[in-house]
Structure 1
Amino acid sequence: MEAYTTKLIDICNKALTSGNVRHPPITHRIKKWESAEGTLRRRQRERIARQRLRDVVQSKGWSWPDWCRILGQEQCEEEIGPFQGPQEILDALHDFSGLRISIYFPGDVERVASLLSNRLRVVSEWRKDQDSDIAQKLENCIEVLNEPGAAGKAADLVKGEFLGYRATHLIVKLAPNDIPPAKLSPWKDIKVEIQIGTLIMHVWSEIEHDMLYKPLASQD
C-alpha cells in the first residue's frame, strides 16, 4: 500500500506542477486496523440513521434523492441499513489510504480536482462537510421531521447543522498505464481517497476530528 500511495503522490505533484498550483507538501496516511475498525463502527451507525431518515422522508411523500442532495449526502444515497456482507464493508473503507492536498486559495480547489481527474481514474467525487457526528445530525433531522411544520424547520436545521467546513473529496484509482505490469494484479482494484481543501480548512478539520473522535474512541 505504501508503494501505491507513493506512486499516487508523485502523479498528483506532477499534475499540480503542470497547472502552476502552489501548495504545501502533499500529506498522506494509511490507517491502522484499530482506526479502520472505529471507522466501520461509525459508518454502521450512519447507515442505520440514514435508513431511518429515508423511511421518514418517504412516508411524507418526499423525494429521498432530493433530501440527500439538500443534506450534502448524495454520495451516500444507497448506503443505508446495516452492512450486508464483506463487499459493503470493503467499500466503506475507501479511505483506508488517503491523501490530503492543501492549497492556499479557495478558488484553486475545483482546478485541482480537474487536474487530477485528467490523470487518475475518478471513481466518485463529492463535497463533504466537516468531520462531525453525521449519525447525530441525521437523528436530529429525523426528530425535526416528526414535528408539525417539518419542512420549514428541517430547512433551518440543514442551514445550521450541515454548513461550515467543506472540502472536495475524490475516490481514485491509478490509470492502467501508470501501473507497472508486475503490480497489475494487486494494484488494479486499490482505491484511495484524496481530500482537496484550503490549508485553514484542513487545520480546523484536524482540530475538530481530535475533539470529536478521540473521546468517542475511548468509549467504544
Structure 2
Amino acid sequence: MDIIDDFIRQYNKEFDYYQKLCQIVASKIEDQLFKRGIKAIVTHRAKKPDRLKDKLLKRNEEKNYGTVEAIYSDIIDLAGIRVSLYFPSEREIIDEVINDLFHVEKTKKFPLTPHIPKHDKRFSGYWATHYRVRLKKENLTLRYIDTIAEIQIASVLMHAWSEVEHDLVYKPFSGKLSKEELAILDEINGLVLSGEIALERLQAAMSERTKKHNEINDKYELTNYLLSNIDKDYLNKIKLGDTYLLNNYLNTIKTLDVSELNSYITMINTDLQESVTDQLLNMLMVEFYDNDKIDLKNYFKNLHVSERKASGFESFVKCWVVLEKAVRDILKDSDSDVRRYMIPNFGLLKDKKILNNKEANELRQLRQIRNYLLHGIETPVDENLKNSYKELKSITYKVVDHVPTADIKEQLKSELDSL
C-alpha cells in the first residue's frame, strides 16, 4: 500500500509530462490522417491519478508490487491515445501511419483468439489494435523519447461499446452485473459488429457514387476511391501515401476525371519503393505537363510555400518532368517497365553510357530534392536550390541529346530553353 501511495505521489508530479506526451503523439497522428484523407476522431489523456489508484489496488492483489519502478513497468497506458475510425477497413492505413511516425515496441490485436460462440456470450467482443510506441528522435521531443505511449485503434462504434463495457464490467461502481445485464451488453456488441459491416458497405457505396458521378471532390473521397479500387495486395507491398498531395495536383490540373484516373491506377508498380500516391502524382505530372496550361506555383502555394520560393520550386520540377520525358523515350524499347508502368529506370542511363558515375549519383540526390519539394518538406535554401537546378538542367540537356525520336528531342529542347 505504501508503494502504491509513493507511486501516486510521484505520478501526480509527472501528470503534466504524460499529458504533454499524449498531446504530441495525438498531434502527429492527426496531421497524417489529414494528409492521407482518413476520417477519424483522435482523443488523448494522461491517466487520472484517482482512477489509476483504484486500478493499482486491484492489480496489486495479483502483482504484489515491490517497488515504484515495478508499477511503471506494469502500467503501459499512463499516456493513452485513441483513434476512432469512421471506416474500420482503414485500420491498415493507420498501421502504416503509426509505423512511419513512431518506434513501435509492441502491437496487440483484439480479439486475441478466434471467437467460438458460447451460450453465455455469443459475440466476439472487442475488435481493435493497440500499439505501444516511443517517439522518434527529434529536437523538440528528446525529453519524451524514452517513455511509452499506448495508441488504441478501433471504429467509432467499437470504442463507444468498449467504453460502456469497460466501465460496467471491469470497473463496476454498483456491484457485479446480473446475467441479464451481461446478455444485453453482448447483444449491443452484436449490433456494433453489424454496424461495422454497415460502415464498410457505406464506404463501398460512397466509392460507387464517386465512380458514377465521375469526379472526386476532396482528399477524403480520393482516399476512399483509391482504397476501394486498387488491388488489396498492393498495400501489402507498398504504402498508400499522402492523398493530400495527389488531390492538390488534381485540383491544379482540373482536367482529370475518375475514369481517366483508373487507367493510371492500373499502372502502379508494386516493385517500386514509392507509395501509391507518389507514383500517381509522378505519372500525372509527366502526362499532363504543359508549360502554358499547368501552373505549378498554385500547387506549391497550397503547401504554404511563399510565392517567391514557389517560382523556383516550379522551375525545378518542370525541368525534372522534361528529364523524365526524355528518359522514357530513350528507354521505350529496352525497359518493359516504362511501357507498362510509365516509371523509367534512371539507373539504365549509366548502363547506356549516357551519364557517368558522378552524374548518376548527382541525379539520385536531385531526385530526393524533387521529392522533398513536392512534399513540401526540408526545402533547400535559395542558393542551394539555384545550384541544384543548374545541375539538373545540365544533366537534362545531356540526356535530351540522346533522345532517338527527332520531333520529341526538339520539343524537349524547346521546353528546356523556355525554363
- Please state which band the TM-score falls in when normalised by the shorter chain: 0.5 to 0.7
- State the match for 2:124 in structure 1: 163
Q: Which has the higher contact order (CA 8 A, sep 6+)?
A: 1
Contact 1:173–1:192 (CA under 8 A) maintained in structure 2: yes
C-alpha distance in 2 between matches for 1:217 and 1:129:
27
1:109 paired to 2:91: yes
Does the 8 Å contact 1:99/1:194 carry over to 2? yes
Query: Which one has the largest radius of gyration?
Result: 2
What is the match of residue 28 of structure 1? Answer: 44
2:38 partner letter: V
Displacement of 1:116: 1.0
Q: Which amino acid is 2:56 matched to? A: L
- Structure 1 runs of 4+ aligned residues shifted over 6 Å read none
Equivalent residues of 2:117, 2:124 under 8 A apart: no
**Which structure 2 residues correspond to residues 144-163 of structure 1 after superposition, within 5 A?**
160=121, 163=124
- Determine if contact 1:123/1:170 at 8 Å carries over to the other structure: yes
Instruction: Indicate the RMSD between aligned Cα atoms, in angstroms.
Output: 3.0
- The equivalent residue for 1:63 is none
2:36 aligned residue (19, 23, 45)? 19
Q: Superposition pairs for residues 1-220 of structure 1, below 5 Å?
A: 1=17, 2-24=19-41, 26-45=42-61, 48=62, 82-129=64-111, 160=121, 163-177=124-138, 179-180=139-140, 184=142, 186-216=143-173
Question: Residue 112 of structure 1: CA displacement?
Answer: 0.5
> For residue 21 of structure 2, what is the amino acid of its counterpart?
Y
SS at match of 1:118: helix
Tell me the CA shift for residue 214 of structure 1.
Answer: 4.2
CA shift at 1:43, angstroms? 3.4
CA distance in 1, matches of 2:35, 2:121: 39
Q: Quick check: which one's helix share is greater?
A: 2
- Measured in 2, the distance between the counterparts of 1:214 and 1:160 equals 19
Deviation at 1:17, TM superposition (A): 2.4
Task: Could you tell me which runs of 5 or more consecutive residues in structure 2 were left unpaired when the two chains were aligned.
Answer: 1-16, 177-419
1-structure distance, mates of 2:117, 2:131: 29
Q: Cα–Cα, structure 1 residues 162 and 170, in superposed 2: closer, same or farther, change >3 Å?
A: farther
Distance 1:174 1:217 in 2: 39
Tell me the CA shift for residue 161 of structure 1. Answer: 8.4
Q: CA deviation at 1:170?
A: 0.7
| Separation in structure 2 between the aligned mates of residue 211 and residue 129 of structure 1, nearest angstrom | 19
Aligned-pair CA distance for 1:110: 2.5
Letter of the 2:144 partner, please give it.
W
- Separation (CA, whole Å) in 1 of partners of 2:122 and 2:106: 24
- Whole-Å Cα distance in 1 between the matches of residues 128 and 163 of structure 2? 13
